Amino acid sequence: MITLKDIGEDALIQRIIPLAPRSENPIEGPGDDCAVIDPGPHSDFLTLLKTDALVENIHFLPEAPARKVGWKAAARVVSDFAAMGGRPECFLITLALSAETPVFWVEELYRGLGECLLKFNATLAGGETSSVPHGSAALISVAATGTVNRRHLVLRSGGNPGDVIFVTGHLGGSIQGKHLDFIPRIEQTDWLVANFKPSAMMDLSDGLGKDLPRLAAASECGFQVDDACIPCSPGCGLGGAIGDGEDFELLFTMSPAQVDALVQAWSLRFRDLRLSMIGQLTSTGAQPSLLLKGGWDHFTR
Amino acid sequence: MITLKDIGEDALIQRIIPLAPRSENPIEGPGDDCAVIDPGPHSDFLTLLKTDALVENIHFLPEAPARKVGWKAAARVVSDFAAMGGRPECFLITLALSAETPVFWVEELYRGLGECLLKFNATLAGGETSSVPHGSAALISVAATGTVNRRHLVLRSGGNPGDVIFVTGHLGGSIQGKHLDFIPRIEQTDWLVANFKPSAMMDLSDGLGKDLPRLAAASECGFQVDDACIPCSPGCGLGGAIGDGEDFELLFTMSPAQVDALVQAWSLRFRDLRLSMIGQLTSTGAQPSLLLKGGWDHFTR
């Protein structure tokens, strides 16, 4: 019998999405950092929807501080709204926990969630609690609505051959701690979409080796990357920078005509956050960097 | 150390909700079947948000047909939108599954989800897949947006002393099969809110013994129930009708002045679905039915 382990996450998604009805509006639906809902031409703003889950022993260890786990659960979703050029609004929190979970742990988790919502001007709209059988992993599922100005929406699919590929910050080694207390790059995306026109964007959650091919495929492009330009985290090699995942940095592309102005303006505006040009999109079929084989797949490893 | 088992689900929710920022709009926020978001006075429609989860061995058994599990996962959420007088729109589906899960099982699950979305004019907007550690329970979390005409919104909190308490259908024994293939009562709520003015409403998911006290508390009322009027499912006693849960029938209250007209109109419109008057709301402190002690709590049993 074929299991999820045999086919992996992306192939599973390809198989199941056609089994449920989709909106007839082509802008809407699965396949990007968030789903996009168009309330109609009378509105300057589009609605964004996102859901994301943290599973014990997959996304956090039982001994991780609950407050940081809560922060991470909300911040991952904020990062996805940022990746579309948007902002978060209302959150729904689902907790699936064993009856033996200490009340204090859940309160700390919620304090961390609350700190993240407060920082990014979002609110708690509701939630759900369920027990899980004894011995099952705890799970925190976060669903949220967001909003984006119609003119500022950036999809994964807008890249063109020749566009320059950028990443923010440093990649790899997130497991050393950053994965629990990262700051979603929403300050940067707010500024970026207001002043420039990124052609495609996503946040790096599964590692550059997994996420860049996704962005390129959505844009119907290939890509070339100069491995020497990939900004590795201190103490982290190229393999980690490509394959570790959970960087929550931005990956975006921009037409060559805007690149010089962007690089100059960025260095003045964000002195403490590196911006790296790592390569460019190509016509489909170009040879990707041979090293870009890493990245996280939920079911095949 | 105090655990969730010690305090139960409702006390947990009371402790954690204040730890996260809430909207300043009093209509919005946790505490009803759905969260309600007010887009502002220019709109005749309010946005509804709901999240709900199914956990293996809690809400369904591993041997249950995956297609019915999928139907159930979506139908529970549709039932919550119905309970507010609204309708579902966009769904986000989160699957947390072990890598050993058969692909066919997931496809069947999605077929069931898709059938429910199609029947109730909703669409799949996006989702999330995650692995869980080997041996952990599978989890399906469903988040959705809905909409309700501002004039038709029914909260749990609108009941008044003297209002008559109604339930639809028959209660108890859902585990015999109904819990996997029930029809959310949205046809009934559509009709009800268009023709009458229920003062308070919710769907019966945790059992009358748990849910009626919640509705009464939200309305700052007590209640009196005539046990002989509770419509028990065939082969099911009063204990099951009160305590089994997962009935997904409607519980609503209505001012006495509307009752005769409702009962007459209902019997003409919905010949195959019983409507039962089971009691009335009272001033706070009235003696509840002694038998109303059952119902499902996720952590204390």
d(CA A137, CA A97): 8
Q: What is the pLDDT of residue A298?
A: 63
Q: Average per-residue pLDDT in chain B? A: 92
d(CA B152, CA B148): 7
Give residue A175's identity as a one-letter amino acid code. Answer: I
Residues of A in contact with B53 (CB under 8 A): 94, 96, 128, 130, 141
The answer to whether A143 contacts B92, with C-beta atoms less than 8 Å apart, is: yes
Q: What is the pLDDT of residue A90?
A: 95
Among partner residues B12, B122, B132, which is closest to A106 by beta-carbon distance?
A: B12
Residue of B nearest to A3 (CA): B102
d(CA B273, CA A212): 55
Interface predicted TM-score of the whole assembly (ipTM), two decimals: 0.89
The answer to whether B12 contacts A103, with C-beta atoms less than 8 Å apart, is: yes
Dihedral sign computed on CA atoms, order A283, A288, A292, A298: positive
d(CA B139, CA B134): 13
Residue of A nearest to B70 (CA): A20
Confidence of residue B31 (pLDDT cuts 50, 70, 90): confident
Domain A156-282 has CATH 3.40.630.40: no
The answer to whether B123 contacts A22, with C-beta atoms less than 8 Å apart, is: yes
Query: Residue A293 above 70 pLDDT?
Result: no
Query: Residue B290 above 50 pLDDT?
Result: no
Sequence-separated (6 or more) residues with CB below 8 Å from residue A95: A106, A109, A127, A128, A129, A130, A138, A139, A140
DSSP reduced 3-state for B105: helix
B4-152: what fold?
A: 60s Ribosomal Protein L30; Chain: A; (3.30.1330)
The answer to whether A49 contacts B123, with C-beta atoms less than 8 Å apart, is: no
Residues of B in contact with A59 (CB under 8 A): 130
The answer to whether A19 contacts B110, with C-beta atoms less than 8 Å apart, is: yes
* DSSP, residue by residue, A133-183: -TTPPPEEEEEEEEEEEGGG---GGG--TTPEEEEES-BS-GGGTHHHHPP
Q: How far is A258 from chain B (nearest CA, A)?
A: 32
The interface residues of chain B toward chain A in range 61-120, judged by CB-CB distance below 8 A, are 90-94, 96-104, 106-107, 110-111, 113-114, 117-118
Compute, in degrees rounded to 10, the torsion defined by CA atoms B242, B14, A140, A180.
-170
Percent of chain A with pLDDT over 70: 93
Residues of A in contact with B132 (CB under 8 A): 55, 58, 136-137, 139
Which pLDDT tens digit goes with each residue over B143-162? 999 999 999 999 999 999 99
Among partner residues A34, A94, A124, which is closest to B21 by beta-carbon distance?
A: A124
Among partner residues B6, B15, B127, which is closest to A51 by beta-carbon distance?
A: B127
Q: What is the pLDDT of residue B25?
A: 76
A51 DSSP β-pair partners: A143
Instruction: List Cα–Cα distances, A192 to A107, A197, B231, in angstroms.
Output: 36, 7, 61
CA angle A85, A88, A90 (to 5 degrees): 155
Is residue A252 within 8 A of residue A163, CB to CB? The reply is no
The interface residues of chain B toward chain A in range 119-138, judged by CB-CB distance below 8 A, are 122-133, 135-137
The conformational region for residue A29 under phi > 0 = left, psi -120 to 50 = alpha, else beta, is left
Which pLDDT tens digit goes with each residue over B198-247? 999 999 999 999 999 999 999 999 999 999 999 999 999 999 999 999 99
Chosen for mutation from B46, B50, B79, B124 (greatest number of chain A CBs closer than 10 Å) is B124
The interface residues of chain A toward chain B in range 12-71, judged by CB-CB distance below 8 A, are 12-13, 15-17, 19-23, 28-31, 34-35, 37, 47, 49-53, 55-59
d(CA B299, CA B251): 24
DSSP reduced 3-state for B161: coil
Q: Where are chain B's structural domains?
A: 4-152, 156-282
Q: What is the pLDDT of residue B23?
A: 85
Is residue A21 within 8 A of residue B122, CB to CB? The reply is yes
Among partner residues B4, B123, B131, which is closest to A58 by beta-carbon distance?
A: B131
